[in-house]
Structure 1
Amino acid sequence: MRHIKIVNSILLIISLFLITSCSNNNAMKPEDFKNKEPRLIIEEYLTGNVKAWGVLQNRSGKVTRQFSADLDGSWDGKQLILKEKFNWDDGEVQNRVWTITKIDENNYEGTAGDVVGKAIGYSYGPAFKFEYVLLVPVKGKEMKITFDDWIFKQDERVAINRATMTKFGFKVAELTVVFVKD
């Protein structure tokens, strides 16, 4: 009986550790950037041609893939249609078309063919945060991966993107991208 109590106590401690380590009240928030410059207005920055280069890292930090991409955006005053073409270093070519709707000065919603439901976007100062679930092909199957995607405008031409990819709350990969506007 005493042995069961010890095991239950250990399981409780481990569970509490896992729960508290997964929640981070000090996490970066889009509002942290509201009075900073240069202001990233995503529909302006991504209108026209933008080039991108990126690396995908596994959860250990090892670079597993690299890519270049061409983005072409058009803005109609309410929606940004963004066509993306990714050229991966292993020869894979991937296309995605985003429809991003501006809700108000700071809030956006987006959809794409491989996005589950709607992406939610927040824009403050030089930062744009995009949260969404993407269907990612893995070994012939589609896996739902949650993206915590941040873009930071550096100047009129350059922006840097960092995305953390998770599954069941655990980090599975990170993506780093540099955008250069033509």
Structure 2
Amino acid sequence: MRLILILALAAAAAAATLAGCTGKPSFDDPSLSSRELELEEFFDGELVAHGQFQDIFGTVRRQFVVEIEGDWDGERLVLQEDFTYEDGATERRVWTLTKTGEETWEGTAPGVVGVAIGEEQGDRFNWRYTIDLPIPSADGPTRTQRVTFDDWMWLQSDDRLFNRAYMQRYGVDIGDVSISFEKRR
């Protein structure tokens, strides 16, 4: 019995180690372009985004479209995001971002625990936060699940930005979200 317990603990430790070794972006990675992302310029105006959530096994669990209205007033960037999911569910999230330095940001939104922090570098932006995310339930009211996001965004052209957000719960990877943002002119 003791051997089984030891083997089970070793397997759990190995799984946790492998989950923690998932390759994720870093500002130490070489830049892939000479573009400079200015968050306040890119998100000022109307945008549309298409995205999906996939679990750690790569199975797509949910798809969505987001209509975004951004307003930069010289001090704050307010993003009104209207989500429409493939099942017809909708959600609105309103972010208020403040530039705290030449390349740094802080932000808040309903459901966000504390303050989100972000940093720009070249064509990239990293945005980190914890949020009580609404989770639909087929047999009852929507519940929330506290998750941590590590978003990485890359400016691909003047009007296109790609976002990959890594999600964790209790420090364990649970999946990621891929989103393509496009500015409307």
Q: TM-score by structure 2 length?
A: 0.84
Using the aligned pairs only, state the percent identity: 33
What does 1:114-129 align with in structure 2 at a 5 Å threshold?
A: 114-129=111-126
Select 2:150's aligned residue among 148, 151, 175.
148
Q: Kindly indicate whether the alpha-carbon contact (under 8 Å) linking 2:20 and 2:173 is maintained by their aligned counterparts in 1.
A: no
Shift of 1:156: 0.4
Q: Which runs of 5+ in 2 are unaligned?
A: none
Confirm whether residue 109 of structure 1 aligns to residue 106 of structure 2. yes
User: In the TM superposition, what is the alpha-carbon distance from 1:132 to its structure 2 partner?
Assistant: 0.5
Residue number among 70, 74, 87 corresponding to 2:71 in the alignment: 74
- What's the counterpart of residue 137 of structure 1? 134
> SS at 2:102's partner residue?
coil
Deviations 1:64-112 (A, max 9, x none): 1111111111111121011100111101111010001101122110100
> Structure 2 CA distance, aligned partners of 1:30 and 1:152?
12
Aligned length: 179
Q: Deviations over 1:113-138 (max 9, x none)?
A: 11111111010011111000111123
DSSP-derived class of the 2:127 partner: strand
The equivalent of 1:85 in structure 2 is 82
Structure showing greater radius of gyration is 1
TM-score, with length taken from structure 1: 0.85
* 3-state SS, counterpart of residue 113 of structure 1: coil
RMSD over equivalenced CA pairs, Å: 2.5
